[in-house]
């Protein structure tokens, strides 16, 4: 992998399903990247996203009543996901992009997650699974703005899994799209706030 390759193209170059959301953020690249990289995912809210997420968790909640619920996280950043979940931080290029990846049987009522480390992710092809990469990139858009992109790709490891995921994708796509919109919106708002705070500190100095 060279420095000119996008992380998502290295780890999942041939997706079966893909979703991209972009925004022009009126904040510098440095602040926009920091806002995305340090985002607390528990802060991402929106009517459809909240309801869809709650509904998606219902089967797991029924399971938890029998086996005891896990302790809910109070903060969930990319680093938290990498350290304490099946998600792996595949790569991080400061002020440019980072990517998270996970494998699993996403179409099941209770998702069966599978952690795959970065060095094994591109080659992982065990039948019965899907691979998902979510990448966030920030590039300069003129002297004062940033092009922010949240890009998710999914590839399946065998035809049967592809068929199962396609059915799931058709049903879940509105919620998945809404979640991407909420992610971009929250990252952009946080970037603008960071920029305003930085300017205020400069004026006070």
Segment 187-202, tens digit of pLDDT: 999 999 999 887 777 6
- Residue 55: the pLDDT is 41
Q: Write the DSSP assignment of 28-48 as a string of letters.
A: -HHHHHHHHHT--GGG---HH
Residues 6+ apart with CB under 8 A from 21: 149, 150, 151, 177, 180, 181, 183, 184
Residue 69 has pLDDT above 60, yes or no: no
Nearest of 2, 189, 27, 30 to residue 95 by alpha carbon? 30
Global pTM?
0.85
| Domain covering 7-204: architecture | 2-Layer Sandwich (3.30)
Average of per-residue pLDDT across 53-79? 56
Average model confidence (pLDDT) across the chain: 86
Q: How confident is the model at residue 59 (pLDDT cuts 50, 70, 90)?
A: very low
Residue 93 has pLDDT above 90, yes or no: yes
Q: Extract the tokens encoding 73.
A: 């996280």
Write the pLDDT tens digit of every residue in 153-176.
Answer: 999 999 999 999 999 999 989 888
Average of per-residue pLDDT across 97-122? 94
- Residue 178: the pLDDT is 87
- Residue 43: the pLDDT is 81
- Between 202 and 149, the more confident residue is 149
Helices of type H across 5-77: 7-11, 29-37, 47-67
Q: Extract the tokens encoding 128.
A: 């019965």
CA distance to 76, 89, 113, per residue, from 101 (Å): 15, 7, 11
Percent composition of the chain: helix, strand, coil (DSSP 3-state, to 5): 45, 25, 30
Q: How confident is the model at residue 85 (pLDDT cuts 50, 70, 90)?
A: confident
């Amino acid at each position: 992998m060279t420095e000119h390759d996008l992380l998502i193209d290295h780890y999942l170059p041939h997706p079966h399903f893909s979703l991209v959301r972009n925004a022009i953020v009126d904040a510098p690249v440095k602040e926009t990247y920091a806002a995305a990289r340090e985002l607390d995912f528990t802060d991402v809210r929106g009517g459809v996203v909240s309801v869809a997420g709650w509904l998606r968790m219902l089967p797991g909640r029924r399971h938890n009543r029998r086996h005891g619920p896990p302790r809910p996280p109070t903060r969930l950043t990319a680093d938290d996901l990498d350290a304490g979940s099946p998600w792996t931080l595949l790569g991080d290029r400061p002020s440019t992009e980072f990517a998270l990846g996970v494998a699993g049987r996403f179409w099941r009522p209770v998702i069966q997650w599978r952690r795959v480390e970065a060095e094994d992710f591109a080659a992982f092809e065990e039948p019965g699974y899907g691979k998902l990469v979510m990448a966030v990139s920030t590039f300069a858009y003129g002297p004062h703005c940033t092009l922010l992109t949240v890009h998710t790709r999914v590839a399946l490891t065998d035809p049967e899994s592809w068929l199962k995921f396609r059915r799931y994708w058709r049903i879940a796509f509105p919620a998945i799209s809404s979640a991407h919109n909420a992610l971009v919106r929250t990252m952009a708002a946080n970037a603008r706030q960071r920029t305003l705070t930085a300017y205020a500190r400069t004026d006070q100095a």
